[in-house]
Structure 1
Amino acid sequence: MSLRLRLMLVFAVVALVAAVSASGIAYWLNRDAVLNRTQNAALDDFHKSLEDNTGSLPLEPECHELELAADRIADSSQKYEVLLLTSKGDRPGCAAFSNEDAFGWKAVPKSLRTAVNTQRRVNSSNAYPYHLYWQRISLDGAPYLVGGAKVIGGGPTGYMLKSLENERQDLNSLAWSLGIATGLALIGSALLAQAAAATVLRPVQRLADAARKLGEGKLDTRLRVSGTDELADLSRTFNRTAESLEKRVDELSGREASSRRFVADMSHELRTPLTAITAVTDVLEEEADSLDPMIAPAVQLVISETRRLNDLVENLMEVTRFDAGTARLVVDEVDVADQVTACIDARAWLDAVDLDAERGIVSRLDPRRLDVILANLIGNALKHGGSPVRVSVRPDADDLLIEVRDHGPGIPEEVLPHVFDRFYKASASRPRSEGSGLGLSIALENAHIHGGEITAVNSTDGGAIFTLRLPMDATQLVEDAERKDSERDRDKKDKRSEQ
């Protein structure tokens, strides 16, 4: 879930809880106020009217007198119906109704009748034996207030029934109003959340974009800072970090460039004397049979070390081209089986290599770089694994798979992660070996420039397996490299024109 959506949800939940809580409290407070006001007004009016209109009646009034009293009591601005009851000793007396259809005896709850007719003991805390009682009821789904009291001194018992429908409608209108207010609060909170999210997330988005550009190598990326809040402090920290990183990278780039220039210059400087030394060693090798047996081993050592030094210089020059980013593919359409055969034949490995490759597997690759990869992989297998070395070639969808397998002791597990590292030696006690320590790393770089990969694993049957995976067609990589070169040249021209 995005941060923007989380912010909006938090705002919505907070607004909903606050609005519902406020609306609920307001509704219940208003409900109690409305009902209590109506209830108190009706009960006070009934109690007073009951005393006024029954006080002049005889102890045992006639039914028509009771009916007249009920009508007078019901004739009130509070608009309620009245029921009056009398009793003659133990026998029931008259029952007078202001409107029997609207308010009959059955409408009076039994619990209310019991409370009204219960005589209380008179004492210091209770001055009267009978009191006024009330109860809210529902008749046919409509709300009513029913109250009752017994006239003290042997008078009749009176009950009143008042409709609360108007109050219910008012409360329903209030509930709708509060519901609409809650909905408007939610909409307002959503708009506020959107504005807050935009205010908060816009700087965060700019910071994310700047960090992405910084990760892509655009070290001159900076943020425009305004304000004094935490996001502004974060932007300032980012700018200081980017500036420090740019200076550090510039220093490291300068040192790396110096190192590359040193290696390249050294390699070029060594090539001239090496050419002369190689010519001399070629002559010595031709005359090896006629040399004095005492100096022949020394001559052979010079010849082998000269060749090793020549290979090292060539490898160093190749490495500097990769590091400088100037290595480029020159693709051509080749039959992979013929290319592998030519690589093996040129190095006189035909007797030591078992080739499993069908003719007709055509791929657009750089033949020279493929030859370098194969020479290093097969040569490494022959050197460390021993013959026979098996080389198999097969297509795999849009890729080309070349597998080089030896039958030696395999690669130690602690060495496997480092087999493609430059100058890596499996044993620190034997830092010197016949190879330069660059062959496999150069093979991997040549695979990468093709858009491929080389992996090394140990076989369960013994020996090591190096698997080369290359795309069948590297033309697109060449086009991409040419486009990047043109863009880089254009950027350099633009910078020079700005200066």
Structure 2
Amino acid sequence: MKALAEAWEEALEGLVAHEDRHVVYLNPAAARLLGVAREKVMGRPLLLALRDHRLEALALHGGERLLEVRDRLLRVKALPGRLYLLDESEAQRRLRTLEEAAETLAHELRTPLAGMGPLLEALTPRTPQEKEVLALLRAEVARLSRLAEGLSPVRPGPRRPVVLLELWGRLERLLGERLKGKEVEVHLPHTLATDPEALFQILLNLLDNALKYGRDPIRLLSRQEGPRLGLEVRDRGGALPDYEALFLPGRRGVAEGRGQGLGLYLVRRLARALGGEAYARREGEENVFGVSLPLD
């Protein structure tokens, strides 16, 4: 117990322990983040230490939120009798810097990609093998163009009814060889009024993620949940320690892997631009990565 107490005294994460709406413990990190003196709030009413009704409500009722408190952006998580505080101000600043860099990169990619399309169209394949290679090159250039647009601030295009099963046909053609030997089950019976290109990019990134890191069988499915539609890719990979962190840029679910860890980050940006949200969780023996989008 002594070692645990010493660890919390040195921790970067703030901890406020409370009972009957009174503070029973406040570590130095929490005192710094809340801007209070420990000796003045120990044993006093909880609100006196928190000085914020939003924090008090979380502490009393539980939950997790990202809140701006005392000019800091705090990740706040409340469990019975405990309130955890983590300063994410620097992480958010880095994220803004990364988004600016991504915008610059997208701008620099657009010009060469725009020139590659006409060059490929000018080629005349003479054999079936050359024709197949040219088709793959065109598909990859189109994919790179979509990725470049995905790096820019997301602006959804015109919405129209999209038959989800038709998107699977496009995915199948684009992924081609990567799907061979894979056990992929597809159940997409719905039609959704949305931006088809944004939705295609979401499904491409989710499926690409499962093909890289998941295990068969991989299931691509849609299901209605009241006024919303859930689109999910499920696989039998091992349980992951932190699903929410995978939506941060540069994060992958395994220590080693291909890519820059931007796929799920882009999925969340696109989902929010369409009025929805992206999520990931463990459900039974499956890892579930999906988006929830409004039907209307």
**Is residue 413 from structure 1 mapped to residue 241 from structure 2 by the alignment?**
yes
> Which has the larger share of strand?
2
Q: Which amino acid aligns with 2:230?
A: L
- Aligned partner of 2:203 in structure 1 is 374
- Aligned partner of 1:320 in structure 2 is 152
**Is residue 449 from structure 1 mapped to residue 273 from structure 2 by the alignment?**
yes
**TM-score, normalization by structure 1:** 0.33
More contact order relative to length (CA 8 Å, sep ≥ 6): 2
Q: 1:406 to 1:286 in 2, by over 3 A?
A: same
Deviation at 1:377, TM superposition (A): 1.0
- Aligned partner of 2:293 in structure 1 is 470
Pairing 1:28-47 to 2, within 5 Å after superposition? none
Pairing 1:88-487 to 2, within 5 Å after superposition? 259=101, 262-271=104-113, 274-275=116-117, 311-312=143-144, 314-322=146-154, 327-336=155-164, 338-347=165-174, 348=176, 349=179, 352-358=183-189, 361-410=190-239, 412-414=240-242, 416-425=243-252, 430=256, 433=258, 435-461=259-285, 463-473=286-296
Q: Is the 8 A contact 1:270 1:313 kept in 2?
A: no
Q: In the aligned structure 2, how far is the partner of 1:329 from the partner of 1:320?
A: 13
Deviation at 1:406, TM superposition (A): 0.9
Q: In the aligned structure 1, how far is the partner of 2:194 from the partner of 2:139?
A: 29
Identity %: 21
Q: Which amino acid aligns with 1:333?
A: P
Deviation at 1:282, TM superposition (A): 9.5
Q: Is the 8 A contact 1:343 1:375 kept in 2?
A: no
- The answer for unaligned runs of 5 or more in structure 2 is 1-67, 69-92
Q: 1:287 to 1:440 in 2, by over 3 A?
A: same
Q: Which amino acid aligns with 2:215?
A: G
Q: 1:260 to 1:278 in 2, by over 3 A?
A: same
- The answer for unaligned runs of 5 or more in structure 1 is 1-214, 216-248, 289-299, 474-499
* Number of aligned residue pairs: 198
- Aligned partner of 1:158 in structure 2 is none
Q: 1:425 to 1:393 in 2, by over 3 A?
A: closer
Deviation at 1:315, TM superposition (A): 1.7
Deviation at 1:470, TM superposition (A): 0.7
Q: Which amino acid aligns with 1:447?
A: A
**TM-score, normalization by structure 2:** 0.52
Deviation at 1:357, TM superposition (A): 3.7
SS at match of 1:321: coil
Q: 1:426 to 1:279 in 2, by over 3 A?
A: farther
Q: Which amino acid aligns with 1:424?
A: R
Map Cα deviations across residues 23-72 of structure 1 (whole Å, 9 max, x no partner). xxxxxxxxxxxxxxxxxxxxxxxxxxxxxxxxxxxxxxxxxxxxxxxxxx
Q: In the aligned structure 2, how far is the partner of 1:392 from the partner of 1:400?
A: 10
SS at match of 2:152: helix
> Which has the larger share of helix?
1
Q: 1:257 to 1:400 in 2, by over 3 A?
A: closer
Q: 1:332 to 1:356 in 2, by over 3 A?
A: same
Q: 1:427 to 1:281 in 2, by over 3 A?
A: farther
Q: 1:262 to 1:377 in 2, by over 3 A?
A: closer
Q: Is the 8 A contact 2:106 2:151 kept in 1?
A: no
Deviation at 1:418, TM superposition (A): 2.5
Q: In the aligned structure 2, how far is the partner of 1:261 from the partner of 1:284?
A: 39
Q: 1:339 to 1:279 in 2, by over 3 A?
A: closer
